[in-house]
């Protein structure tokens, strides 16, 4: 009897069922997530917020490299070759993307420029006495630091994911609406945090902040590093110090990935404070998402301005 039971169990597992379908086929296999590649961590955050478990996303950059001079790795080529979508900021920020896509040879890949439809701020020449310039061909590309521009970028990402994977369109659109509501609340809260501060003039370490400054009504009185990777001249530093003293500029916005030596020098010479912010999620503890980063940057800046 025991042998008969064992034989029956073996046949039930090994033989096709009466409809001619193996028994294991009744376990529905989950569909593969949509493969997505992005250039920057901020875009990865938004893809994850919209796509959830339906997407698999890889960011080519960690956030500590220079977007302008980044050199793609062999693993980046593999990731792009497998992807259905590639999201970039555009506006001349990631000039290396086109050659990467060409070398990957992925004919079905769709490249989406998320800064589309956003009015770009043109870089302005530095005041007399400076020797460098940080000009971008199409305009300054750091659009995501304005939460209103970020909303446009999120919508571009959502539309592209829906088109690439319409089976989950309802989920994607619901996630997008929820996120945009949260973004609007954070924008309102952070605007209120800075609204009452009288002295709104700042010096910036790197020209990444014009969209942030415009949204939060800040005045950028000067820029330390006006060329990617370049060091300011002694003449330029002297001009900045004179400007800060004359116009009572008491806050320097620096960035976590930049060398703090020059901002510290300016702070000592002028009695100003340094607010170390981040342009990308994850750059500092407590900035793991875009919304966290926005809150952090505004809080740090508000505290520095209040203390002056």
Residues 6+ apart with CB under 8 A from 78: none
Quote the tokens at residue 173: 């659109």
Place of tokens 């917020």: 49
Are 72 and 90 in the same domain? Answer: yes
Contact 271, 279 (CB under 8 A): no
Residues 206 and 298 both lie in one domain: yes
Residue 208 is part of a domain; what is its CATH number?
A: 3.40.50.1980
pLDDT score of 66: 75
pLDDT in tens, the chain (308 residues): 444 444 444 444 444 433 344 444 434 566 899 999 999 999 999 999 999 999 999 999 987 777 777 899 999 999 999 999 999 999 999 999 999 999 999 999 999 999 999 999 987 644 433 333 344 457 999 999 999 999 999 999 999 999 999 999 999 999 999 999 999 999 999 999 998 898 899 999 999 999 999 999 999 999 999 876 678 999 999 999 999 999 999 999 999 888 999 999 999 999 999 999 999 999 899 999 999 999 999 999 999 999 87
154 & 216 share domain: no
Residue 263 and residue 302 share a domain: yes
In a domain, 19, yes or no: no
Residues 236 and 148 in one domain: no
178 and 206 together in one domain: no
What residues pair up with 108 in beta bridges, in sequence order? none
Residue 150, in any domain of the structure: yes
Residues 6+ apart with CB under 8 A from 80: 37, 86, 100, 101, 104, 106, 109
Which residue, of 146, 166, 187, is where some domain finishes?
187
Rounded CA-CA distance 47/176 in Å is 10
> Collapsing DSSP states into helix, strand and coil, what is residue 145?
helix
Closest among 59, 63, 62 to 277, alpha carbons compared:
63
Last residue of a domain, one of 129, 162, 187: 187
Q: What is the largest CA-CA distance in the chain?
A: 100
* 131 within some domain: no
Domain membership of residue 55 (yes or no) is yes
Last residue of a domain, one of 152, 187, 222: 187
Place of tokens 């920057």: 40
**Are 179 and 238 members of one domain?**
no
Q: Do residue 269 and residue 155 come from a single domain?
A: no
Q: For residue 156, is it within any domain?
A: yes
Does one domain contain both 183 and 45?
Answer: yes
User: Do residues 171 and 294 both lie within one domain?
Assistant: no
Per the domain annotation, does 269 fall within a domain? yes
Q: Cα(217)–Cα(224) distance, rounded to whole angstroms?
A: 20
**Is residue 8 in a domain?**
no
Whole-number pLDDT of residue 23? 42
Number of domains, the chain: 2
- Look up the domain containing 182 and give its range: 34-114+138-187
Is 9 a member of any domain? no
Whole-angstrom Cα Rg for the chain: 25
Same domain for 262 and 148: no
Q: Do 183 and 218 have their domain in common?
A: no
Give the residue from 150, 100, 92, 94 showing the smallest Cα distance to 122. 92
């Amino acid at each position: 009897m025991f042998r008969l039971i064992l034989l029956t169990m073996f046949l039930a597992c090994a033989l096709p069922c009466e409809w001619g379908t193996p028994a294991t086929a009744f376990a529905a296999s989950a569909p593969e997530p949509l493969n997505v590649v992005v250039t920057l961590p901020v875009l990865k955050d938004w893809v994850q917020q919209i796509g959830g478990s339906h997407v698999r996303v890889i960011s080519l950059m960690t956030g500590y490299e220079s977007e302008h001079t980044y050199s793609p790795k062999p693993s980046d080529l593999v990731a792009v070759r497998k992807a259905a979508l590639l999201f970039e900021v555009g506006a001349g920020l990631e000039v290396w993307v086109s050659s990467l896509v060409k070398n990957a040879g992925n004919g079905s890949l769709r490249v989406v420029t998320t800064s589309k439809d956003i009015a770009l701020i043109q870089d302005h020449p530095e005041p007399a006495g400076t020797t460098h310039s940080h000009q971008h061909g199409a305009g300054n590309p750091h659009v995501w630091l304005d939460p209103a521009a970020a909303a446009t970028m999120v919508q571009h990402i959502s539309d592209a994911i829906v088109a690439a994977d319409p089976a989950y369109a309802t989920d994607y659109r619901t996630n997008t609406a929820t996120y945009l509501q949260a973004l609007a609340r954070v924008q309102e809260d952070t605007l209120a945090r800075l609204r009452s501060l009288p002295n709104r003039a700042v010096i910036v370490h790197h020209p990444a902040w014009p969209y942030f400054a415009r949204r939060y009504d800040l005045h950028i009185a000067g820029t330390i590093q006006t060329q990617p990777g370049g060091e300011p001249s002694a003449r330029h530093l002297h001009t900045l110090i004179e400007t800060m003293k004359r116009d009572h500029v008491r806050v320097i916005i620096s960035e976590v990935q930049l060398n703090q030596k020059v901002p510290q020098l300016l702070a000592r010479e002028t009695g100003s404070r340094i607010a170390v912010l981040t342009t990308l999620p994850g750059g500092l503890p407590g900035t793991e998402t875009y919304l966290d980063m926005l809150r952090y940057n505004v809080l740090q800046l508000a505290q520095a301005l209040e203390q002056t």
